[in-house]
Amino acid sequence: MSTNKLLTRDQVAEHEKWNLEAMYATNDAWEADFKKVQELLPEVANFRGRLGEGASTLLEWMRLNEKIGLTFDNVFVYAHMRYHQNTGDSFYQGLSDRASMLAAEVSSELSFVNPELLGLPDGTLERFMEENEDLRLYKMVFTRLLREKEHVLTPEVEEVLAKVAEIAEAPGSIFSMFSNADLKMPSVQDSEGNEHEVNEGRYRNLLESKDRVLRERAFKSLFGAYGQFRNMLGATYNNNVKKNVFYAKTRHYNTTLEAALSGDNVSVDVYNNLIQANHDNLPHLHRYLELRKKVLGLDELHYYDFFVPMVESVDMTIPWEQGKAMSLDALQPLGEEYVTTVQRAFDERWVDVFPNVGKRTGAYSWGTYTSDPYLFLNYTDTLDDVFTTVHELGHSLHSYYTMKSQPFVYGNYTIFVAEVASTLNENLLLSKMLREETDKKKRMYLLTHSLDQYRSTMFRQTMFAEFEKIVHGLVEEGQPLNADLLSQIYLDLNIKYYGPVLKVDDELKNEWARIPHFYDAFYVYKYATGFAAAAALARQIQEEGAPAVERYLNFLTKGSSEDPLDLLKGAGVDMSSPQPIHDSFKVFVERLDELEKLINEQ
């Protein structure tokens, strides 16, 4: 896949595309399920005002709710995955839009349920579970619901909020359409005059180039393109933040952050501990960046110098077939069944591999309770792409084990634990490569890669989390956001996190405008907490062997049947304490020490 020009979707080989036909063989089959959901929705009204009649009525409702959910999930996920494979395809854009509209309709029809259940006399749900054994399956569902009792509003208000849900998602939808389909970056020339297309899918690969002229021009092309629309994007993001604040206040939370964390039953202290631990360890990051500047022989270290390998003579180009083999090899410690399932993912086309024209950027794992757990990649033959592959395999295997073991109602998991499963796989890959590599230059390359993972996950994602906390706090205080203020906050954080070694380019202040996760508030901190938890569990697997593997695989089977912090405690790590975060930074310092030693020995 080594070409400077993107293929169109129909030019991509079939075996390199995911097999979504396994979900729906034809568009007519999708239409049939869409219609099925529409036909089931009127049955919902039969239960309005009746959920407290008795245990049998409540059980009937729970089963109807699952029936709707199973079919709707397939309709929604399929339509969006088809759209993501080519955002310029108006047909699948239409299906995606219809699925989103159906989601709002489903949400509206079901909006009475939680308020009605919470309006029942104290002890009613517990009594119903005692009377009907089948209802006990939903004990954790009811426990979580009752925990949120003070934040659920009257049925009338909940119905209104549900009806405006699609409108409330407008900022994120606008950003996604603009970023993935409309925004075009100017092509750039490298130092030899060769032309290179610039887009989000190729940007990281361009910044890993040894050609500094190409890196700088790609950086300025991408960030400059967003900068041209910074006022529009500022207004879009401002409205997204105001939406979040509105919902938090309406539901009687103290802050938007508290509202975002409540679903996982995670304390705000966990979030704040993460930020403080990062602040405490910033001198180590500054030391690493100073080393990077020295090794690259630069007078000034710019942001576009963060990604280029520090070891010049090491070529780590990894074609897809080699990347698959590396993934299978690295995951051997997790056992035969795990590895066999990974092989199935490759053989049965769970994976959409390469970039193509119009394809959404980034990577993810997605599916439904009854589908394969698909992987969406934009593989461009880099070592980072191999790490992304094992990362998304971690998500997909988490889904596989969960859905095989749990009923539909618990056949999912929160992002808080999801990032543990994905990042643990990255840890296993890196540890294996470091154990086996004896060539000093390649070892230096891998150590640099590890340190850059810390920079991009523990430090950068926490910087994002701090940015979100600041801007939501300003809006909560009544201060409106605009592009200038957002840019200044973001620039100040970059200077704080990266320190005096960073030579600031004006375009860097625009980066907030390109981060899609900002439209899913207080999401990114989970990458950092997941990174720390995964490091702890990977170390246990490598040191303890079978007992730690058994605990970990058991964790993967539990889905959402327990709260995230409890699930992780069962696996062997306590994330209510800041200790795993500090332990993770100790590994950063150890690897930085080794890298410095190897460099000094040259």
Task: Please give the Cα distance from 31 to 306 (Å, whole number).
Answer: 47
DSSP 514: G
**How far apart are the two ends of the chain, measured CA to CA in Å?**
35
- What DSSP string describes 137-171? GGHHHHHHHHHTGGG---HHHHHHHHHTHHHHTHH
Q: Which two tokens stand for residue 266?
A: 């995670």
Would you say 365 and 391 are in contact if contact means Cβ atoms under 8 Å apart? no
Which amino acid is present at 205? Answer: N
The DSSP element (H or E) to which 101 belongs, if any, is helix 90-109
Q: Reduce the secondary structure of 234-290 to three states and give it as a string.
A: HHHHHHHHHHHHHHHHHCCCCCHHHHHHHCCCCCHHHHHHHHHHHHHHHHHHHHHHH
Let me know: does 245 contact 420? Beta carbons within 8 Å: no
Q: Is 412 helix (H, G, I), strand (E, B) or coil?
A: coil
Q: Are strands 502-503 and 188-189 parallel, antiparallel or unpaired?
A: unpaired
The residues annotated as belonging to the active site are 392
Cα(57)–Cα(48) distance, integer angstroms: 11
Largest CA distance in the chain: 78
Cα distance between residue 334 and residue 324, in whole Å? 16
Choose among 285, 527, 293, 294: nearest CA to 394: 527
The residues that bridge with 84 in the sheet, in sequence order, are: none
Helix, strand, or coil here: 351?
strand
Q: Report strand pairing: 374-376 vs 364-366.
A: antiparallel
**Cα distances (Å, whole numbers) of residue 165 to 169, 170, 204, 399, 416:** 6, 9, 34, 27, 24
Helices (H), 477-602: 483-498, 525-544, 546-557, 564-571, 579-601
Element (H, E) at 79: helix 55-85
CA 534 vs CA 403, 423, 453, 582, 583: distances in Å: 21, 6, 13, 13, 12
